[in-house]
Amino acid sequence: MPFSPCQQLAQTLLPLTLEGDDGSHDVAHLHRVWKNIRQISQVEGGNLHILCAAVLLHDCVAVEKNSPHRHQASRMAAGHATQVLTTLGWSTADIEQVSHAIAAHSFSAAITPHTLEAKILQDADRLDAIGMIGVARCFYVGGRMHSALYDAADPLAQRREYDDQRFILDHFATKLFKLQEGFQTQTGRTMALQRTERMHRFFNELLEEV
């Protein structure tokens, strides 16, 4: 079961979790982030009930990557999650834990996670942005934004500034290769290193073909 051992909670929250048609933030993304959380929490600990609610609701407000309001998306999701969990009768303390984890998970929000659960969610979500699944999501989102694959005249940006709004390949240098530096847990850092190595292999092999 994809959200074991919190399947009952998942059945309650899943219908309330996603909006929009972004295939990089769909139910499969939630499954993968939960899988990452289970792997991290086996070593680091954390309250799975809080973590499951945070996973299920962390993308409940859809804001496109190229929107000027993108940096506010996690705060908006945290606010909506607070409303949902309040309606379900959750305690104020638990709601605050879930809300903080959701608000802090986003890279663009630049909010420091202060609880173990927030640190685990941030790590688990960022793991899904790197590695081979991260590569797939990067090109998927670039296609949604109508970006070119790379600059044919200068794919490595040796004679120009990086521009990952125009060229998908630039996003590896501007963000994806750097994400491993900000992981919050030791388990997350170890997983991030493995996935970053996979991205480097992909990047180098792609350049050979280019």
210 vs 100: CA distance, rounded Å? 43
Q: How many residues does the chain have?
A: 210
Domains of the chain, first to last? 1-109 (1.10.3210.50), 129-210 (1.10.3210.50)
- Give one DSSP letter per residue of 119-159, joined into a string: HHHHHHHHHTTSHHHHHHHHHHHHHHTT-BSS-TT-TT-SS
What confidence tens digit (pLDDT) does each residue in 91-111 have? Answer: 999 999 999 999 999 888 788
Full-model pTM: 0.92
Q: Report the alpha-carbon distance of residue 196 to residue 170 in Å, rounded.
A: 15
67 has a pLDDT exceeding 60: no
Contact 137, 145 (CB under 8 A): no
Task: Tell me the per-residue pLDDT of 25-60, one tens digit each, with 9 for 90 and over.
Answer: 889 999 999 999 999 999 999 999 999 999 999 988
Cis amide bond preceding 155, omega within 30: no
Does the pLDDT value for residue 69 go beyond 60? no
Share the mean pLDDT of the chain.
Answer: 92
The DSSP-derived string for 159-194 is: SS---TTTBTTHHHHHTGGGGGGG--SHHHHHHHHH
